[in-house]
Amino acid sequence: MYPAREHRVRILFFGDIVGSPGRKALAEVLPRWREAHQPDLIIANAENAAGGMGITPHVAEEIFSYGVQVITLGNHTFNKKEAVRLLEDNPRVLRPLNYPPGVPGHGYGVFSAAGVEVAVVSLMGRIFMDPIDDPFQQARTLVPLLRQRTPCILIDIHAEATSEKAAIAWMLDGQVSAVIGTHTHVATADARVLPAGTAFITDVGMVGPLNSILGVKQEIIVTRFLNWMPARFEVAGGPATVNAVLIEIQAATGLTEQIIHLQEVVNLTTTDL
């Protein structure tokens, strides 16, 4: 059990949930981690949660039923047409802020966590990805506005290039509570608090099949590299890895005291998939 903590906010953030195996692994781990770590707010990136690519209202509700309170997305936000209705109807599902004007949904939201307001922002990088609006300028414009309401701000930067993620974090060091990297599905060993008080990790890692290539069956990806022919991606089976970070923030300042990477492997049966 954690000691009593006044004026602290504890956030549990899960990396990219991949398909049914990721959702089932989350369902198994989350109740235990919630009891052990006592988070005030639970967030998950779920842009790959429906069949390994995209999200639907049904899948979102399943993830919420496990205890997740906010969902962030990324470059596969609109792979399922049902996502448009989901984004229009549910403010707890956030698509990247830097999509062009007029795109359905919201890029940020402010949520209550143990009586403290926490702003959650979804951003997407542009290097080796779609050439959408500039995430740096969007963040520089939005963050001062959010700080007028709350200093507790978490950003999910969904990006391919580690340099782009790190640059966002260093630009915002001391202005936001955390900059959390997603998208590449491989957990990095660099979770730290930057000098001015912003937590950063290049990539949380995924919640999905362990014996896979980024969640996809290995043979499909290997063959794709060998012959460079189009192939239909399929989510792998077997045991699943669950990756998350636990962040503890000072409510008054919004600065982070610690960030801890959490990981567990879950053995799923055939009936779980």
106-164, pLDDT tens digit by residue?
999 999 998 999 999 999 999 999 999 999 999 999 999 999 999 999 999 999 999 99
pTM of the model: 0.94
Residue 158 is a catalytic residue: no
pLDDT of residue 7: 86
CB 264 within 8 A of CB 240: no
CA distances to 92, 93, 118 from 88, in Å: 10, 9, 21
- Residue range 159-177: mean pLDDT, rounded: 98
Whole-angstrom distance, CA of residue 139 vs CA of residue 134 = 9
- Residue range 43-60: mean pLDDT, rounded: 96
- Residue range 51-63: mean pLDDT, rounded: 96
Topology classification of domain 8-272: Purple Acid Phosphatase; chain A, domain 2 (3.60.21)
Helix (H), strand (E) at residue 122: strand 116-124
> What token pair was written down for 70?
């906010």
> What token pair was written down for 63?
């993830």
CA distances to 105, 208, 267 from 25, in Å: 28, 7, 8
Say yes or no to pLDDT of 77 above 80: yes
pLDDT of residue 52: 92
Whole-angstrom distance, CA of residue 191 vs CA of residue 248 = 13
> What token pair was written down for 204?
């949380």
- Residue range 67-88: mean pLDDT, rounded: 95
Q: Which residue has the tokens 């008080």?
A: 197
pLDDT of residue 148: 97
Q: Give φ, ψ of 107 to 5 degrees.
A: -95, -5
2 — pLDDT class (breaks 50, 70, 90): very low
Mean pLDDT of the chain: 94
Candidate list 7, 37, 58, 76, residue with the active-site label: 76
> What token pair was written down for 222?
């290997």
